[in-house]
Amino acid sequence: MDQQFWDDMYLGQTRLWSGRPNGVLVTEATDLAPGRALDVGCGEGADALWLAGRGWTVTGIDISQVALDRATEAATEAGLADRVRFAHADLDTNPPPAGAFDLVTLQYFAIPHQPPAALAGLLAAVAPGGTLLVGGHDLTGHEHMGNGHFDLKDFYNHDELLAALDDSWTILTAEIRPRVAPAPPGTEHVNDTVLVARR
């Protein structure tokens, strides 16, 4: 699941995702005071644009240059190019700046166990008083969903992410809840995992 894999995924469709912000983000971030946000795995930019439209200064990062080009175009069309920037990043080798963001959001983004620096860099990016927001698929009963592209056991699940947070974090939400929007066609994910923590 390298850059070529994701570039090919995006090139296969005019739009890969819905263009709407993820429901977990909308539910959990609506009442947060705007500041600096990092949208990890930003894709075509819907979450980043939603945040920017609510007053956040947003950095969206992704491994796919095709997705980033689409996100940049969408920001320009929405008149939000001054509030959001998109950058190519591979978390394995290029961690975000430490302590730089009041919100770090990961929506359906698979964090690998190896190298450990990937998760460590994301956690370190949250500023004191900032929020970590992770929305994911509840894979209970769907452990086969790797589809040959990757092995789910190679990535952090909800419980492992929760266990990775030390005493410097306050857990605000850690639960499984029904999705607020239908799952993508061809999938059976009816529930989301939600983790919200304050540094």
CATH code for residues 3-7+42-198? 3.40.50.150
Supply the pLDDT for residue 6.
60
For residues 142-158, average pLDDT: 65
Q: What is the pLDDT of residues 160-173, one digit of tens each?
A: 999 999 999 999 99
C-alpha distances in Å from residue 141, one per residue of 68, 137, 145, 169: 33, 11, 9, 30
Domain boundaries, the chain: 3-7+42-198
Q: What is the pLDDT of residues 54-76, one digit of tens each?
A: 999 999 999 889 989 999 999 99
Angle, helices 46-53 vs 65-77, to 10°: value is 30
